[in-house]
Chain A
């Protein structure tokens, strides 16, 4: 019997499940995948290597199953949204009426960082609406932090249990109402910055950053930070409310930059996660570019204004 999304479901059918053992994980994922395989629907599976191997051993027919080989798909939320959109377009072009996708996002429980993925989980309720996608996000209760569980319940309209019981999440928030997690302050932000620039051009911010950052981080990371700070300062000067303040901190192998203005920041909850619609010269494209770089990006809306924080490190993170 078909469960979950009805055949011909239009839009993203977004479910989450929690498991506390491999047996529960199996109970959640095998029916989801097997029903898809039986219905001739493409099934996309993205877990870590150990879980992917388990899944391969449990399924009867892997011919319709895709394990995205590129682990970089989860490098940043923005890149994941774009990569999956391309994959969905491909499947729809090949005639798929329903696409099943399941995976586990980076979080401290699996060795990753959850920062920013809360906005992703909220956004995919909207940004994949053009595709017939059934998404099942599974989280390990033993390792997922309480804050992750909180976000999962607020970003998935439906929760499925290992016994197969489905319920609506009474804590679900549509993307427009979603309260994103505040960025965790970086310890460096509590210290005096190496430099503070007020109402200066993007070029001056780049020069200061290049001077401080050269030798601290790799050239590749420094280039990403330069692209990021330039876009953020341009946005602050054009769309924000003065003064626009750039602060740069440096520690061995690490650079933190904040760009703050006293405006309210972008009202669009999807800002940075997808390209802004319409004119390319809008605020949204710069933020979208920043979010695809190999640096950590955090947006902070507060009473005193809007801040874009960029962090680049020679090591991961």
Chain B
């Protein structure tokens, strides 16, 4: 079972968890990454550290955090450079990145592991504002991929990124509590799940997150699952409606809580809007 929602503290993550981990610096991050990798090795996963810099230094780092000593030739632990997954081109191509994650996951399975677990500190990659959109789209696709394949990932973001942290955090199924009022996550059946509270205060952040969601190739509809919403005001509903209007495929919403249905009815969206209310 994937962890969906805010998590109060680090705990064991499963085969398909996608966690955003926000930290002060690498010294703060490494112990958690070590636990994450040790737990993964114990579950029969291949673990991989995705990083930049000198390869030998990175290997030593992985050896230390994994508690396995400096690496020799073990295939259970890998080091992958950022360039290998994210390419050298600018901006990064989210679909191509996801294919590389998929290839690495399939390779782990072919080698007899139960799946792939990846840890990466994304901070330096997303520091430049003009790179953030493409990397956020990568997070959306990885979230979708991990909901259906044995890929678990802990994506580190340092607090020094400031407000930019929340825009990445909200695209993970599991986030530290208190970081973002809402999350956009992937349901196992391909639907996009919305979780938390959506009001005027996070209106800009929600609209930005929506812009990064695209229907999966070949899908004839895009389904939003609203069952995990605690609150949604008229700003957010209208944003969702605008998104539906612009979406190239019909947008269906399902499992809306009574409060959301109430607001939608009052706004007349069930008759006049661009949302198809699924099983309301």
Contacts and interface: CB of A to CB of B under 8 A. Distances in A.
Interface residues of chain A: helix, strand, loop or mixed (majority): helix
Given A201-B201, A203-B201, A227 B267 contact: no
Given A202-B201, A203-B201, A238-B200, A281 B263 contact: no
A234 interface: yes
A140 interface: no
Interface stretch (B120-128, B229-237, B243-251): B229-237
Nearest to A292: B266
Interface string B175-186: 000000100000
Size category of the B interface is 10 to 19
A286 B234 CA distance: 7
B129 interface: no
Contacts of A293: 262, 266
Given A219-B258, A230-B231, A234-B233, A289 B263 contact: yes
B262 A234 contact: no
B102 interface: no
A231 B231 CA distance: 12
21 contacts: A202-B201, A203-B181, A203-B231, A206-B197, A220-B262, A223-B258, A226-B231, A226-B259, A227-B233, A227-B259, A227-B262, A230-B233, A231-B233, A231-B234, A234-B233, A234-B235, A281-B203, A285-B234, A286-B233, A292-B266, A293-B266
B238 interface: yes
Contacts of B263: 227, 289
B197 A220 contact: no
Contact of A220 (B203, B258, B267): B258
A285 B263 CA distance: 12
Contacts of B238: 280-281
Size category of the A interface is 20 to 34
B267 A223 contact: no
A265 to B, nearest CB: 18
Given A202-B200, A234-B200, A223 B259 contact: yes
B199 interface: yes
B266 A230 contact: no
Interface residues of chain B: helix, strand, loop or mixed (majority): helix
A202 B199 contact: yes
Nearest to B267: A289
Interface of A: 201-203, 206, 219-220, 223-224, 226-227, 230-231, 234, 238, 280-281, 285-286, 289, 292-293
A15 B62 CA distance: 84
A234 B199 contact: yes
B38 to A, nearest CB: 37
Given A220-B258, A227-B262, A234-B201, 15 more contacts: A202-B200, A202-B233, A206-B231, A219-B258, A223-B262, A226-B259, A227-B233, A227-B259, A230-B199, A238-B200, A280-B238, A281-B235, A281-B238, A285-B234, A286-B233
Contacts of B200: 202, 230, 234, 238
B158 to A, nearest CB: 26
Greatest chain B CB density within 10 A among A224, A230, A238 is at A230
Contacts of B181: 203
